[in-house]
Amino acid sequence: MPLTPAPLPLEALRSAFGARLKLNVPLSRYTTAHVGGPAEAFLVANNRDELAETVQQLWALGAPFRVFGSGSNMLVSDAGLAGVAVINRAAHVEFVTGEAAGAPYVLAESGANLGGVARKAALHGLSGMEWAATIPGTVGGAVYGNAGAHGGDVQGSLSLAEILHPQYGRQTWSCDQLEYQYRSSNLKRLHIPAVILSAQIRLAHSTTQDVKARMEANAAHRRHSQPPGASLGSMFKNPPGDYAGRLIEAAGLKGTRMGRVEISPVHANFFVAGEDATAGDVWSLIQMVRQTVEEKFGVALELEIECVGRWNEADTASGKSH
């Protein structure tokens, strides 16, 4: 039987959040694939303290929630999200240079845009985040999923993360404590119910010109190798020693469509959603690709994206999360 989530304590939520609380807000506007149904309830947090207070109140009320950064790694079901979507707009960024211990580094609130932080670092003549300039999403989403590109990743750059835990409160975690693996942290793997408030990222002195040149080379590579349009980036993780995109292409699936979603002819690990696409279209394509690649090559592709929200029983049996 599918799990039926407990009803949200709407009256208690209204009295805790007043006019900040919105109901039935379409989440397609808050994900880069532009698909997905409504959040039962919806809150925006504009800074780190507001984010911390919001999730502490939600924990106290027993209201399930999910933090949304830029929604660039989440497939929200067409039936929407049971619970509260917390949109993280905590975006203050501070560069620390000079004599401070560990300097230079950047302290970024978790809702800051990762690429934006990288580009600001370039303007300060600071290197170390060139790999991040082309990755969509927030600092929080990147820390959660160990985002990476162009030979760098969060694991190689993060000094500290400020975490809020329902039992242990605010804590500072070292990079090692996040037990990073390829595109995952222990928060993600173990479903640890903690929220990332901010991150301290190591930098090094350089020149704006050099940093920008490296970023431009990365961006040029990406423009050439990845499609524009609404997507969630790479759909599947690369299996050990191979590439998901290569396997999907070798299976003859480039350009295949389901409903309004297409496997990109540019990069087969990108599924591009057209206007009026649904999460169901994306999910059908995921299933078809997995089955075909497994039949042809004996490789079980693992999702890099997360499926969130309410899915039907057959879907939950296939490993979706709520």
Return residues touching ligand FAD (CB under 6 A): 32, 66-74, 88, 110, 135-138, 140-142, 144-145, 147-149, 183, 195-196, 231-233, 306
Q: Which is nearer to ligand FAD, 72 or 206 (CB)?
A: 72
* In the complex, least distance from residue 167 CB atom to ligand FAD, rounded to whole angstroms: 16
Q: Which is nearer to ligand FAD, 249 or 294 (CB)?
A: 249
Q: Residue 266 and residue 95: Cα distance in Å, rounded?
A: 37
Q: Which residues are catalytic?
A: 183, 234, 304
CA angle 144, 145, 150 (to 5 degrees): 130
* In the complex, least distance from residue 133 CB atom to ligand FAD, rounded to whole angstroms: 10
* In the complex, least distance from residue 171 CB atom to ligand FAD, rounded to whole angstroms: 13
Residues near 125 by beta carbon (within 8 Å), at least 6 away in sequence: 205, 206, 207, 208, 211
* 3-class secondary structure, 129: coil
Q: Residue 281 and residue 231: Cα distance in Å, rounded?
A: 13
* In the complex, least distance from residue 118 CB atom to ligand FAD, rounded to whole angstroms: 12
Q: Which is nearer to ligand FAD, 97 or 177 (CB)?
A: 177
Q: Residue 101 and residue 92: Cα distance in Å, rounded?
A: 21
Q: Which is nearer to ligand FAD, 25 or 295 (CB)?
A: 25
Cis ω before 9 (30° cut-off from 0): no
- Closest among 210, 237, 211, 233 to 301, alpha carbons compared: 237
Q: Are strands 81-88 and 38-45 parallel, antiparallel or unpaired?
A: parallel
Q: Which is nearer to ligand FAD, 78 or 162 (CB)?
A: 162
The shares of helix, strand and coil residues in the chain, as percent rounded to the nearest 5, are 35, 25, 40
CB atoms within 10 A of CB 155: 18
- Closest among 168, 169, 170, 145 to 158, alpha carbons compared: 145
* In the complex, least distance from residue 300 CB atom to ligand FAD, rounded to whole angstroms: 21
Specify the residue for token string 């600092």.
Answer: 139
Q: Which is nearer to ligand FAD, 195 or 303 (CB)?
A: 195
**What one-character-per-residue DSSP string does 28-89 give?**
GGGSTT----EEEEEEEE-SHHHHHHHHHHHHHHT--EEEESS-SSEEE-TT-EEEEEEEE-
* In the complex, least distance from residue 205 CB atom to ligand FAD, rounded to whole angstroms: 26
